[in-house]
Amino acid sequence: MVAVILAGGKGARLRPHTDEIPKPLLPVGGKPIVEFLLRQMQKTGVEQIYMAVNHMSEQIINCIGDGSKFGLKIEYSHEEKALSTVAPLMLIKNLPDNFIVANSDILTDLDFKSIFEFHVKNKAQITVGTYARSNPVDFGVLTVDDNNMAIGFNEKPVLNLTVSMGIYVFSKSILGFVPNDKPFGFDELMYTLLERQIPIHTYPYNGYWHDIGRPDDYEQANANIKRIKDMFS
């Protein structure tokens, strides 16, 4: 299996932590975030990884190297300018017919072989790993009709959402919807596929998944470091 790890972002939402360290290298329990992802990929069958890099790329390359210390072959694809989360794939040559794509700031015990085989079995063009999240709303929520009259009330409801894990399997054909040399993100890809009625397969997962996109997410990961180390030991 081949995977692409998107590691070119600036991690603006994690400032000041990312002022001098690129997001993939932020330490969780003394190890770079991305190391946990690399080890989980290798453990579950990934052999070749392309890392799409831009911001502070020298630090990432110096830290991760050629991947041999993780039992992987790692090559780097350099973005001359920021291309968001999907367009960087257009710079990578020789991608196979099906490949995994993942954000670099994810902690998960997902079996990457399972989602890959699910994708291939279903002959999907794209498979999105999904996770069920319950988000409490800290307000009383009114339901209002067209005449601005309250017709319902819910005190601090909980929103049950299906969210993207930031982990996908793409068929190479999906790149036909991506422009060249222009920023293009996962959100734009979803809108494009939905508009053109291209089937989007999902792979629900209920194991461990933690997205480190904000300072409180990062602090929570370090607070749970014993569980995380046990999981990846």
Sign of the CA dihedral running 200, 204, 210, 214: positive
Buried b / exposed e over 12-41, threshold 16 CB at 10 Å, is eebeebbeebbbbbbebeebbbbbbbbbbb
Q: Which residue has the higher pLDDT, 200 or 16?
A: 200
Q: What is the C-alpha to C-alpha distance for residues 126 and 32, in angstroms, rounded to an integer?
A: 29
Q: What is the pLDDT of residue 10?
A: 67
- Which pLDDT tens digit goes with each residue over 84-100? 889 999 999 889 999 99
Looking at every residue in the chain, the average pLDDT score rounds to 90
Most confident of 14-18, 56-60, 202-206, 221-225: 202-206
Please name the helix (run of DSSP H) or strand (run of DSSP E) that holds residue 33, with its range, or none.
Answer: helix 33-43
Is pLDDT above 70 for 208? yes
CATH top class, domain 2-131+161-232 = alpha beta
- Which pLDDT tens digit goes with each residue over 4-54? 999 877 656 656 666 677 888 888 888 898 999 999 999 999 999 999 998
Q: What residue spans define the domains of the chain? A: 2-131+161-232
Q: What is the C-alpha to C-alpha distance for residues 18 and 3, in angstroms, rounded to an integer?
A: 25
Q: How confident is the model at residue 128 (pLDDT cuts 50, 70, 90)?
A: very high
Q: What is the pLDDT of residue 129?
A: 98
Q: What is the C-alpha to C-alpha distance for residues 177 and 133, in angstroms, rounded to an integer?
A: 29
* The token pair that represents 8 in the structure block: 């070119």
Q: Which residue has the higher pLDDT, 134 or 219?
A: 134
